[in-house]
């Protein structure tokens, strides 16, 4: 049952990254490329009916984590307390940036909330990338100092950074040069993803320019991905061991590179949705490749005193996991119907919905 709930949790997180990821990306595009009111309206129209529904996947993922893997929930939410609080405030500012902008038609008022929406979206993409970097790198479980564990084996707490800014320090920080690299990859990848969604859902004059942006950013993304693969060997001496032991895991990086290479043809696509499909493949493949590389670990330990957290030593009781399946099926059906209706009602281009106008 542990494996079943692990797959459920990872699937829900992948869906969240793809769906809310285009919202973050649209915010980044809004911050840097929307120069006039018409472009800004096109971007907010593209995500208007979807963004709050997409965020439900994050809440649902947290619920599954709490139910199925309570030890991991307790460990991660205490250890990553500071960045999680920052993410919460960024989600709030991003939401009110969208909702409050249209309350008063004043240039200064609108400019403030435009910046709140754009900067919050950018920082959320950065922090979620950094979070993935922390999972790959691992944490100092138990707070080991000089070979002695200061806390329980699953407990840790990270400051935002340490004085050395190094991922090899005994006292790690949330942000170091390795996790920051993955954060930058997250920003670039989601900017591409958001641009593809805007192209897909609008007929904006901005679309032609965005195809050029996607094409150029894809070179940056390719370079960053290759760099991260080389640097990964510095963090993990044998990073490909899971792919060697389980060759079918290679399907995940294959999906990632199909998505990445497909984006180089974005300027030639006749159907606007193709770019979004390829960026979705990249995000799905990148996330699942990362998960597969550390499986069955869910939070590696950087010390030799306390063992890593795995899906087997952090899971809830077998009986509870079994009973939860029935409720999960009901919830999954309700969410499936809701998402189908939402995307069915707002299918096609979104130029004329007038989101945020009061």
Tell me the pTM. Answer: 0.92
Classify residue 348 as exposed, middle or buried by CB count within 10 Å of its CB (0-12, 13-18, 19+).
Answer: exposed
Query: pLDDT digits over 170-220, tens only?
Result: 788 899 999 999 999 999 999 999 999 999 998 888 888 999 999 999 999
Q: CA angle at residue 314 from 309 to 315, to 5 degrees?
A: 145
Q: Peptide bond preceding 296: is omega within 30 degrees of 0, i.e. cis? A: yes
Q: CA angle at residue 123 from 142 to 132, to 5 degrees?
A: 40
C-beta separation of 297 from 71 below 8 A: no
Residue-range domain boundaries for the chain: 2-345
Tens digits of pLDDT across the chain (358 residues)? 888 999 999 999 999 999 999 999 999 999 998 888 888 888 888 888 888 888 888 988 999 999 999 999 999 998 899 889 999 999 998 888 888 887 888 888 888 998 999 999 999 999 999 999 999 999 989 888 877 877 888 888 888 888 888 888 878 889 999 999 999 999 999 999 999 999 999 888 888 899 999 999 999 999 999 999 888 888 887 878 888 888 899 999 999 999 999 999 988 888 888 999 999 999 999 999 999 999 889 999 888 888 999 989 898 888 888 888 888 899 889 888 988 888 888 888 877 776 666 5
Give the orientation angle of helix 273-294 with respect to helix 107-137, to 10 degrees: 40
Most distant CA atoms of the chain, gap in Å: 63
Query: pLDDT digits over 78-95, tens only?
Result: 889 988 999 999 999 888
311-314 contact pairs (CB < 8 A, 24+): 311/2, 311/3, 311/6, 311/69, 312/2, 313/71, 314/69, 314/70, 314/71, 314/72, 314/75, 314/154
Q: How far is CA 234 from CA 177, 228, 332, in A?
A: 12, 10, 40
Q: Residue 152: left (phi > 0), alpha (psi -120 to 50), or beta?
A: beta
| pLDDT of 355 | 67
Classify residue 220 as exposed, middle or buried by CB count within 10 Å of its CB (0-12, 13-18, 19+).
Answer: middle
Phi/psi of residue 95, each to 5°? -70, -45
Q: Which residue is listed with tokens 């942000």?
A: 175
| pLDDT of 180 | 94
């Amino acid at each position: 049952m542990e494996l079943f709930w692990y797959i459920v949790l990872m699937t829900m997180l992948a869906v969240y990254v793809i769906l809310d990821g285009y919202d973050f990306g649209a915010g980044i595009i809004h911050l840097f490329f929307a120069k006039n009111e018409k472009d800004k309206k096109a971007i907010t129209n593209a995500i208007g009916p979807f963004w709050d529904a997409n965020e439900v996947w994050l809440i649902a993922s947290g619920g599954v984590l709490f139910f199925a893997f309570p030890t991991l929930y307790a460990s991660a939410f205490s250890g990553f307390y500071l960045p999680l609080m920052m993410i919460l405030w960024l989600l709030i500012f991003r939401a009110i940036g969208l909702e409050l902008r249209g309350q008063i038609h004043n240039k200064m008022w609108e400019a403030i909330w435009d910046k709140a929406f754009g900067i919050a979206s950018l920082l959320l993409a950065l922090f979620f990338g950094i979070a993935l970097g922390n999972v790959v790198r691992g944490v100092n479980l138990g707070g080991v100092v000089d070979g002695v564990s200061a806390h329980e084996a699953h407990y840790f707490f990270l400051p935002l950074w340490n004085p050395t800014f190094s991922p090899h320090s005994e006292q790690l920080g949330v942000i170091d040069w390795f996790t920051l690299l993955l954060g930058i990859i997250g920003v670039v990848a989601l900017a591409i993803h958001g641009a593809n969604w805007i192209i897909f859902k609008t007929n904006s004059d901005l679309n032609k320019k965005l195809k050029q942006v996607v094409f150029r950013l894809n070179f940056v993304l390719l370079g960053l991905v290759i760099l991260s693969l080389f640097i990964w060997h510095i963090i993990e001496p044998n990073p490909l061991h899971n792919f060697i032991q389980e060759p079918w895991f290679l399907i995940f990086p294959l999906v990632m590179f199909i998505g990445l290479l497909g984006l180089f043809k974005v300027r030639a696509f006749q159907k606007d949705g193709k770019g979004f499909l390829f960026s979705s493949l990249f995000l799905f493949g990148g996330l699942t490749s990362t998960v597969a590389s550390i499986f069955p670990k869910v939070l590696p330990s950087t010390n030799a005193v306390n063992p890593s957290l795995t899906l087997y030593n952090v899971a809830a009781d077998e009986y509870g996991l079994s009973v939860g399946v029935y409720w999960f099926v009901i919830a999954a059906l309700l969410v499936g119907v809701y998402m189908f209706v939402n995307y069915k009602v707002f299918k096609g281009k979104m130029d004329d919905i007038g989101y945020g106008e009061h």
